[in-house]
Amino acid sequence: NAGVTQTPKFRILKIGQSMTLQCTQDMNHNYMYWYRQDPGMGLKLIYYSVGAGITDKGEVPNGYNVSRSTTEDFPLRLELAAPSQTSVYFCASGRGATNEKLFFGSGTQLSVL
Amino acid sequence: AQSVTQLGSHVSVSEGALVLLRCNYSSSVPPYLFWYVQYPNQGLQLLLKYTSAATLVKGINGFEAEFKKSETSFHLTKPSAHMSDAAEYFCAVSATSGTYKYIFGTGTRLKVLA
């Protein structure tokens, strides 16, 4: 059981480039989340999804886009990368009840230079 | 609106000493509260959670936390620190209704001294 899988693990982008961070889960979870983690700032919610075809903004959505065409996959798209998007990105999934834990991927470390 | 505040971004303890990591929450509805641990280069893993049953919650690796409504706190403790406890710890809150969002604190990095 792989859980939540994120790719790539590391990436360096130049300013203005675009990329997609991949996230897939094999637990049949309806709820999926993208967070970014910056030193001393904790985790900030970028986007989340409550099921295939349904997404919504979190706290820091600017500069990002998401889609959810299947239950398993929740890719995060960065358009026109900026240095402010240098961060560690985590994908997470859950059953949806807010008294239950989230399952996290191992993260993508992104540097925009 | 919900929020969590973790006091102390870095905490150092000696091996065998008590671990106390502080978390205070703010929530307009009864909260669910969580502690997660993050080891280097890994994602977050659940340590324990409070979901309105017992106020003293026991988790993995000997950690426990007590929900105190009067103090709006959910501090994490462990009687005796091990070197393997060195990690970053996050407190998180979610609402019992109205949102599917989890709000995380800024984290506390625990260092265990030999």
Q: Summarize pLDDT for B85-102 with one digit per residue, the tens.
A: 999 999 999 865 656 678
CA–CA dist A27, A18 (Å, integer): 29
Q: 3-class SS at B83?
A: helix
Whether residue A8 has a cis bond before it, omega within 30° of 0? yes
Per-residue pLDDT, B97: 60
Chain-wide mean pLDDT for chain B? 91
Contact pairs from chain A to chain B, CB under 8 Å? 58
- Taking the CA of residue A9 and the nearest CA in chain B, the distance in Å comes to 10
Torsion sign over Cα A36, A6, B95, B35: negative
The chain A residues in contact with chain B (CB within 8 A) are 4, 31, 33, 35, 40-43, 45, 48, 50, 58, 90, 92, 96, 98-99, 101-102, 104-107
Lowest mean pLDDT among A5-14, A98-107, B77-86: A98-107
Question: What are A79's two structure tokens?
Answer: 């358009």
DSSP B30: P
Per-residue pLDDT, B41: 83
B100: exposed, middle or buried (Cβ count in 10 Å: 0-12, 13-18, 19+)? middle
- Which residues of B are less than 8 Å from A43 in CB distance? 44, 90, 104
A12: exposed, middle or buried (Cβ count in 10 Å: 0-12, 13-18, 19+)? exposed
Whether the per-residue pLDDT at B53 is higher than 80: the answer is: no
Whether the per-residue pLDDT at B65 is higher than 70: the answer is: yes
Question: What are A57's two structure tokens?
Answer: 């903004």
Question: In this structure, how many other beta carbons lie within 10 angstroms of the beta carbon of residue A61?
Answer: 16
Over the stretch A66-95, which tens digit does the pLDDT of each residue have?
999 999 999 999 989 999 999 999 999 998
The residue that leads in pLDDT, A4 or B94, is A4
Per-residue pLDDT, B100: 66
Q: What is the average per-residue pLDDT within B70-97?
A: 91
Which strand ranges, in their side-by-side order, compose the sheet holding B3-7? B3-7, B19-26, B73-78, B64-68, B56-58
Per-residue pLDDT, B27: 80
8 Å CB contact of A105 and B105 = no
Residues 16-45 of B with CB under 8 A from A: 32, 34, 41-45
Per-residue pLDDT, B28: 75
Q: What is the average per-residue pLDDT within B63-81?
A: 95
Question: In this structure, how many other beta carbons lie within 10 angstroms of the beta carbon of residue B72?
Answer: 15
Q: What is the average per-residue pLDDT within A18-38?
A: 95
